[in-house]
Chain A
Amino acid sequence: MLIKKGIPASLGIAIGKAHILKEENILIEQRDIPKDKLKAEVKRFKDALDKTRLDLDAIRVKVLNVLGKNHAKLIDAHHLILEDPLITKEVPKLIVSRCVNAEFAFSEILDKAAEDFEKIDDEFFHERKHDIFDVGKKILSNLVNREKVMLKDLKEPVIIVAHNLYPSDTLHIRETNKVLGFCMDLGSKSSHTAIFAQSMGIPAVVGLSDISRQLNSGDTIIVDGEQGMVIIAPTPEIIEKYKVRKTELHKQEHFFHRLKGLPATTRDGHKISLLCNLDSSADAQELVDMKSEGVGLFRTEFLYMNREAVPTEEEQVRAYSAVAKAIPHVPLTIRTADIGGDRATQLGIKGLKDERNPFMGFRGIRLFIKYPDMLKTQLKAIYKSNTEGNIKIMIPMLSSLDELATVKKVAQDVRTELAEEGYAVRGVPEIGVMIEIPAAAIILDSLLGEIDFVSIGTNDLVQYILAVDRINQYVSELYEPFHPAVLRIINLVVQTAHKKGKPVSVCGEMASDPFAIPVLVGLGVDMLSVPIKMYLRSKYAVRSMNFEKFSGISQHLLGLSTSAEIRKIIEEEVK
């Protein structure tokens, strides 16, 4: 038995046989083709192109149905590559002139194209080479005529083990119901696979470094999505233990559903607001299904992804209005886009140089202050969407009063413009700031006069307090939400805000961590904003705790000097 530790990406436990998705490595050999067979060889190549064309058509229809128009556009680009004369003309020419087999001629041309792409400095163009390889692989596999075992053809339920999964792979997974879990070499909590697994409710562990090479298809493994572990060749006792845990989790899930619509009140009657994080307007219906008390963090970055121009005001109004109207009676906190400099470059904003340290760099409100038109457009769209009067605005990555004053000035200008255009802005939406940069926490007393609420973004706050880049493997161990410095700063924020009567929310991973919830609530946090999938689980954590008791415990924790002491007490007290 061997235990591999990775990053827990999606809750749950899966016990089953591994199915390794190998990166397609097709060995290309050079064969001489006799002169009288050259015509047939060219035809073989053209047949492969025809077959690939049909494959692409079939994929396009599926992508369109399952993933939507933007993804389907990618397939259109693949079609264009397939029709490229480099492929349709140059390859047959090479087959004939050098009397070689189609696979060899094709891979020669493909290698040459890859070389040209390697030379490009511009990262955006550089990355296009993956599209070319993707199409190239499809053509090659049609040439060598080897049937790829498609995920949809799985005969029995398996745990998918891969180096990395691509969107087209996850597409097949959505169509089959034979996937018990995921393990991946690469990835983080926010990677494509993690988000996909969460939305499908499939247990997943990512960031396992080399698991796809350690396992063979058919090996029995356990995926522990709670603790982020994969157990290879588990003993019968361990399997039994996990089966019990799995049944427990299942019962729990069932039990959690009974919490829908109940208030997030502690056992001793202390009520907090439990809100959801929203990553896309497409998930609005889930908020309704979950009977959520509102949205504490609507991340608007999705509007800026996979595109080459800034989203228009109309487009944004459509997205925000859809959510605002879906939940007209509860708050919808929209965060202005927290995009980084690299994203801005891809959106067509020029003159940005590569950043050595993007986390400390040009992102969030810093970028919007430099490009006020982007901020204006977003604020205008937010105001116009506020037909229900339930919208609040939240500013990310704020570090000074000057920045806040600038944003408020822009907001004022936008409201004046709207009034001049004849739009009746319904009320003035409350405005709040994210506390992510320690400086903002420390000068919070100076900010409070200008804002209505604060929200602590723990993921970034912890990273900035401890100066730990959590995706840097050399220091990620130092990332510790229960570091005394973190608890003390959270306490400072709550105390300062409450003195002026302003509410404090917490978004970020801590807000849905069953061990952190009692501490945060004990420190006096008024609102928690959690992923939709964690909503009922988090509500259970609130409803099982005793506020008075954890107020006391939290005060005690503030006096401790190490995270080990803090964790020990929390683990003893939270059952």
Chain B
Amino acid sequence: MIKKQIRIINELGIHARPAGMIANTASRFSCDVKIIKDKMEVNAKSIMGIMTLAAGNGSSITVLASGSDEVQAVQALEDLFARKFDEE
């Protein structure tokens, strides 16, 4: 299992489009991926779950992955956040 804390740096935070991109990315891997913010924990493959986090710019989330391809999954998500969801 790996755990990684990620800061949300894109200007608009995790609105609908980024939520969709996160769910899409996480779904490509077979491992379980969870996102934790404050006390909420959601399935990273669930667009509805991710949107309910209402994670805005500057907030921090924790990605938790466990399964055979956990390393790649976390890496892919980290890239996505770092690319600011291709917003700019």
Contacts and interface: CB of A to CB of B under 8 A. Distances in A.
Which of B15, B23, B49, B54 has the most CB atoms of chain A within a 10 A radius of its CB?
B54
Contact of B46 (A86, A121, A122, A131): A86
Nearest to A86: B46
A85 B43 contact: yes
B48 interface: yes
A113 B48 contact: yes
Contacts of A125: 15, 51-52, 54
B20 A80 contact: yes
10 contacts: A77-B16, A83-B23, A84-B49, A86-B48, A113-B48, A116-B48, A121-B54, A122-B54, A125-B15, A348-B11
B15 A308 contact: yes
Contacts of A348: 11-12
A350 B57 contact: yes
Interface in B29-52: 43, 45-49, 51-52
B49 to A, nearest CB: 7
A424 to B, nearest CB: 30
B56 A122 contact: yes
B27 interface: yes
Interface string A122-143: 1011001001100000000000
Which of A120, A128, A132 has the most CB atoms of chain B within a 10 A radius of its CB?
A128
A308 B56 CA distance: 13
B15 A85 contact: no
Interface of A: 76-77, 80-81, 83-86, 113, 116-117, 119-122, 124-125, 128, 131-132, 308-309, 348, 350
Q: For the complex of A and B, list the 6 residue pairs with the smallest distance between their C-beta atoms, beginning with the closest.
A: A116-B52, A80-B47, A348-B12, A80-B20, A125-B54, A120-B54
Nearest to B18: A308
Given A119-B52, A348-B11, 15 more contacts: A77-B16, A77-B47, A84-B23, A84-B47, A84-B48, A85-B43, A85-B45, A85-B46, A116-B48, A117-B51, A124-B15, A128-B16, A131-B16, A132-B48, A350-B11
A192 B80 CA distance: 36
Contacts of A81: 47-48
A80 B21 CA distance: 10
A309 B12 contact: yes
A309 to B, nearest CB: 7
B83 interface: no
A248 B84 CA distance: 60
A84 B51 CA distance: 12
A117 B52 contact: yes
B28 interface: no
B77 to A, nearest CB: 16
Given A83-B27, A86-B48, A77 B20 contact: yes
Contacts of B17: 308
B27 to A, nearest CB: 7
A87 B35 CA distance: 18
A81 B51 CA distance: 11
A361 B81 CA distance: 35
Contacts of A128: 16, 51
Contacts of A117: 51-52
B48 A120 contact: no
A342 to B, nearest CB: 15
B54 A86 contact: no
Nearest to B47: A80
Nearest to B50: A84
A361 B56 CA distance: 25
A309 B87 CA distance: 9
Contact of B43 (A86, A121, A308): A86
A86 B46 CA distance: 6
Contacts of A350: 11, 57
A122 B54 CA distance: 7
B10 to A, nearest CB: 9
Nearest to A126: B54
B46 A84 contact: yes
Contacts of B43: 85-86
B52 A120 contact: yes
A85 B46 CA distance: 6
Contacts of A121: 54
B24 interface: yes
B33 to A, nearest CB: 11
Nearest to A122: B54
B30 to A, nearest CB: 13
B39 to A, nearest CB: 12
Nearest to B23: A80
Contacts of B49: 84, 86
Contacts of B12: 308-309, 348
Contacts of B87: 309
A309 B12 CA distance: 9
A125 B19 CA distance: 11
A315 to B, nearest CB: 15
Nearest to A347: B12
Contacts of A86: 43, 46, 48-49
Which of B24, B47, B87 has the most CB atoms of chain A within a 10 A radius of its CB?
B47
Nearest to B19: A80
B15 to A, nearest CB: 6
A130 to B, nearest CB: 12
Contacts of A122: 54, 56
B73 to A, nearest CB: 15
